[in-house]
């Protein structure tokens, strides 16, 4: 089967993560997280670089929403964009999910932390 390179017409992108965690002061904030997310977004949307349409990028970086709200936003975005691309004759083929921020490996599972994360919630969900 021939390999097909990603194209801006068939790619969907979801940016996730955070640069600070107001309710979790043990996690160090970093401007590097913001820079990484913004530089990738800039590259993807620049018509002289990847050339992705802004409507095909969901930016959830540094949003102060619960994990459930983020999950719903992702589901809604994928449903809407897949339908829209299909109706325009360009089926969605590639999905890039990019996470920037802190994470941890607990119980042999990779866990990522949202901006709204709090120590009590993480301890409750991920016993050590």
Residue 13, helix vs strand vs coil: strand
Q: Please give the chain's pLDDT, 128 residues, in tens.
A: 788 899 999 999 999 999 998 888 888 899 999 999 999 999 999 999 999 999 999 999 999 998 889 989 999 999 999 999 999 998 999 999 999 987 665 555 556 666 666 665 554 444 33
Query: By C-alpha distance, which of 78, 58, 121, 57 is closest to 113?
Result: 121
pLDDT digits (tens, 9 = 90+) for 62-83: 999 988 899 899 999 999 999 9
What are the Cα distances from residue 2, in Å, to 5, 12, 31, 89, 118? Answer: 10, 21, 40, 21, 46
Q: What is the pLDDT of residue 128?
A: 34
Q: What is the pLDDT of residue 120?
A: 57
pTM, to two decimals: 0.83
Q: What is the pLDDT of residue 127?
A: 38
């Amino acid at each position: 089967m021939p390999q097909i390179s990603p194209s801006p017409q068939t790619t969907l992108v979801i940016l996730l993560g955070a640069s600070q965690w107001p309710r979790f002061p043990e996690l160090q904030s970093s401007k590097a997280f913001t820079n990484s997310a913004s530089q990738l977004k800039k590259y993807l949307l620049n018509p002289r670089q990847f050339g992705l349409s802004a409507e095909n990028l969901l930016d959830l970086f540094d949003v102060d929403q619960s994990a459930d709200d983020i999950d719903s936003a992702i589901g809604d975005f994928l449903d809407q964009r897949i339908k829209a691309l299909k109706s325009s004759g360009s089926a969605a083929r590639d999905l890039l999910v990019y996470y920037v921020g802190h994470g941890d490996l607990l119980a042999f599972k990779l866990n990522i932390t949202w901006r709204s994360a709090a120590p009590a919630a993480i301890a409750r969900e991920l016993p050590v």
